[in-house]
Amino acid sequence: MSNSTRTLVVEAYAQSLLDLADQSGVVDTVETDLETVSALLAREPSFQTFVASPYFAEQTKRNLIRKVFADKLHRITLNFFFVAMDHNRGRLLREIIDRFTQMYRTRRGYRTVTAIVARPLREDQQAKLAKNLGEAIQATVDLDVRVDPSILGGVVFRYGDKMLDNSVRGRLVRTVDRITHPERRQQGP
């Protein structure tokens, strides 16, 4: 399966589950269910391997899912997993859950902002940065901090289709470009 097809399939399954949960008024319940399943997938990689395996029949997968989750998940969530298994989508389960979570949080007013920094940030620094960014974009921010020593210092922000490069490396590159290509300099007012 190509990456673009994979992305479309993940998007379709996540959106379908979100729509169904919304129509039934159980979006929060389904999201909590998916957190439970996500924790299991992280804790037990063998479970992910099992549901992704083409060597086990769909009914065998259904039986195990029913046994593990029958009294723990809402029927919509449980039926969703059955449909995913019936259509051989077990290998996409983690991606579908992640996409559903993104869509859910977006609905709840959260926005993901990626901050690329040269050194790891302390938790208090991350909290302050998330708060300040939230005030700037007028939303609750899910801050995704990534460390990339090659930026030397400063920070690069990515939010949606926007990027703000305030890294030392970015400033150096822009400065060198202005020096070597004076015709590209912006003219002042």
Q: Examine the domain organization and report whether 41 and 95 are in the same domain.
A: yes
Structure confidence at residue 186 (pLDDT) = 62
Whole-number Å distance between alpha carbons of 129 and 116: 12
Q: Examine the domain organization and report whether 25 and 95 are in the same domain.
A: yes
Structure confidence at residue 12 (pLDDT) = 96
Q: Examine the domain organization and report whether 29 and 75 are in the same domain.
A: yes
Domain contains 41 = yes
Q: Examine the domain organization and report whether 76 and 88 are in the same domain.
A: yes
Residue 189 scores a pLDDT above 90? no
185 confidence band (pLDDT: 50, 70, 90): low
**pLDDT (tens digit per residue) in 69-117:** 888 999 999 999 999 988 989 899 999 999 999 999 989 888 889 999 9
Domain contains 176 = yes
Strands 162-167, 154-159: pairing is antiparallel
Q: Examine the domain organization and report whether 24 and 81 are in the same domain.
A: yes
Average pLDDT value for the chain: 90
Domain carrying residue 178: 110-184
For residue 147, give both structure tokens.
């460390």
Q: Is the Cβ–Cβ distance between 15 and 103 less than 8 Å?
A: yes
Structure confidence at residue 161 (pLDDT) = 86
Q: Examine the domain organization and report whether 90 and 123 are in the same domain.
A: no
Half-sphere exposure of 48 (CA within 13 A, CB side): 16
Q: Examine the domain organization and report whether 24 and 89 are in the same domain.
A: yes
Residue at a domain's end among 106, 139, 160? 106
Q: Examine the domain organization and report whether 84 and 167 are in the same domain.
A: no
Compute the average pLDDT of residues 2-9. 89
Residue 44 scores a pLDDT above 80? yes
Whole-number Å distance between alpha carbons of 172 and 153: 11
Return the SS3 of 163: strand
Q: Examine the domain organization and report whether 21 and 94 are in the same domain.
A: yes
Residue at a domain's end among 84, 106, 128? 106
CATH number at residue 60: 1.10.520
Question: Which run of H or of E encompasses 184?
Answer: none
* Domains of the chain: total: 2
Domain contains 189 = no
